[in-house]
Amino acid sequence: ISFNSVDSSLSSLKNCQSYINTGMDIATHVALDLVESFNDVEDVNSMENVMLEYAAMDRELNHYMKAIEETVNQIKREKPENIPDLKVLVNEKFTALESQNTDSDLQKNEKYIYFKDQLKEMRKQFCHQSDNGNEAIEQIDEDIAVTQSQMNFICPITQVEMKRPVRNKVCGHTYEEDAIVKIIQNRKQQKKKVRCPKIGCSHADVKESDLVPDEALKRAIDSQNKQ
């Protein structure tokens, strides 16, 4: 049995998945724009709903691709004399996978987790700008917040303000992307692990795959520089 057409269809489905990923990236950036411009809560919640819809599409697509792959592997393994009805077999496996769906699945989506993390960081970075209250107290709080933020803007490796900050998903610390990647690659050649450069951090195995762009921090740095 030739599976060339099936392989071609799987390739097309994987392209669809890249479109879903792009949509989730755009939704994340729009949500961060809304927080930065203080159009928060309701508008941001609507973007979160969009992210969950994308996550549901991603889950459904993954299940369908998995059903196809399992069906193909089963036929290759069993080598039946008569060609079975692929559509029926795939639908049976797909239905079985979909029957196990729960709402918590969607919240485990990697891009949704990133969305929530960046939203939290964004609110943390920009909240002091929208606080109200006693002017004197507010000014002191704002000065402290700005000073703390500026300290967070400094890369622990280069000791200068970051331009392309990345966050370590394991320990939560941020570094200049080029600086940390260079260290990881150099240590990899030496077959050594990389300890997190942040003073006091016990994380002793920083991997390139654990680094994600910290868009919220980058926006905070850009906003501070504009001011």
**Amino acid residing at 153:** F
Instruction: Give the lowest-confidence range in 43-47, 50-54, 137-141, 223-227.
Output: 137-141
The reported pLDDT for the residue numbered 127 is: 66
Q: pLDDT averaged over the chain?
A: 86
Angstrom CA distances, 72 to 13, 27, 148, 151, stand at: 16, 35, 56, 55
Which residue shows structure tokens 């969950």? 52
Instruction: Give this prediction's pTM.
Output: 0.75
Instruction: Give the lowest-confidence range in 104-108, 118-122, 135-139.
Output: 135-139
| 165: helix, strand or coil | strand
Instruction: Give 62-75 pLDDT, tens digit per residue.
Output: 999 999 999 988 88
